[in-house]
Structure 1
Amino acid sequence: MATTKWAVDPMHSEVQFKVKHLMITTVTGYFQKFNVEAETEDDQFTRAKSVVFTADVNFISTNNEQRDTHLKSADFFDAENHGEIRFVADKYENAGGDDYKLHGTLTIRGISKPLVVNVEFGGIVVDPYGQTKAGFTVTGKISRKEFGLTWNAVTEAGSVVVSDEIKLQAEVQLVKQG
């Protein structure tokens, strides 16, 4: 079977994370520089051969420069020594209808752990410029402490400042390569 290569359309894709702050509100952050590459048999994602996602920690944004600097520090991502987050998928399975499970390995701060994310397949279309595109909504969650992101503080009332659970969400549009 022929192999089809796909690359991210960065203008129509975004990767974000959400974390509870003081356990009363949610802060949203984005990776402004990331990449997704996939290889499939023909155009069928049900027969995905590989999916690789990378994000550049140096391009993290929470719309607060001081917080972003702290996230890049050794307290969290340690961007100086671990500038890339990487997810390599090894299995794509149908979970019913347009819902899928993408299994793989997530690496943050040099620590690799298995991760399964939910994928809603939006379909494949040809855009007005003749490019074949595929769309996906990806959701999941991780424990930040499992990846060495252990910094925290305690409020006067005894609450933690940052939750352990991080919610992941991505809107990904891939473009079929020549």
Structure 2
Amino acid sequence: MSLKTWNLDTTHSTVGFMVRHMVVAKVHGRFTKFEGKVVVNGDDLAQGSVEVKIEAGSIDTGVEQRDNHLRSPDFFDVAAFPKLIFRSKRVQDEGKGRYRVVGDLTVRDVTREVVLEAELLGKLKDPWGNDRLAFQASTHIDRKEFGLTWNQALEAGGLLVGDRVDISIDVQAVAAAAEKAA
């Protein structure tokens, strides 16, 4: 078998998140700038690896004032920590196109192991002759474990920002040109 590299097609991929706001509401957001690759041994995704680098400053919740606060030292501190990085350590085949991708997520120079629950949505050749993979994945983290501890108490009780962050990823990946030519 030979290694095959798939580059994330960032125009057809999304890295999103959701966090509770004022206990009862949900705020959704995404990162608009990222790059990554999936490397697999032949067609066996369980013999693969994933690496994604996200520009922390590309956070977008649709509210400029909130996004600027999230970029500040209270949260991501993008001047000091410009990238969020995920590197897989192993991929476990769970059957029926489902995988557990175990890896290290680094935020603000804090690295913690996370598990992405992933599903292969399909593999095909696009109209331009490129081989593509599509998959979705999700996980959740406790933001405090990554040094994202800022919060504010509410008069009615509870905190302004929830600790749990749900992460959802929808990806299309395109076979690297060098592999295609081979």
| Band the TM-score falls in, shorter-chain normalisation | over 0.9
Shift of 1:2: 1.3
| 2:76 corresponds to | 77
| 1:156 corresponds to | 155
Answering whether residue 22 of structure 2 is matched by residue 35 of structure 1, we say: no
Shift of 1:47: 1.7
Q: Where does 1:92-103 land on structure 2 (aligned, <5 Å)?
A: 92-103=91-102
Q: TM-score, normalised by structure 1?
A: 0.97
Amino acid paired to 2:25: T
Gaps in structure 2 of 5+ consecutive residues: 178-182
Q: Where does 1:85-124 land on structure 2 (aligned, <5 Å)?
A: 85-124=84-123
Deviations 1:34-73 (A, max 9, x none): 112121112332221x210111011110000000000000
| 2:4 corresponds to | 4
Gaps in structure 1 of 5+ consecutive residues: none
Structure 2 CA distance for aligned equivalents of residues 37 and 65 of structure 1:
30
Say what the alpha-carbon RMSD is for the aligned residues: 0.9
Shift of 1:11: 1.5
| 2:180 corresponds to | none
Runs of 4+ in 1 over 6 A off after TM superposition: none
Q: SS of the counterpart of 1:68?
A: helix
Shift of 1:31: 0.2
What count of residue pairs does the alignment treat as equivalent?
A: 177
Q: SS of the counterpart of 1:58?
A: helix
Percent identity over the alignment?
A: 35
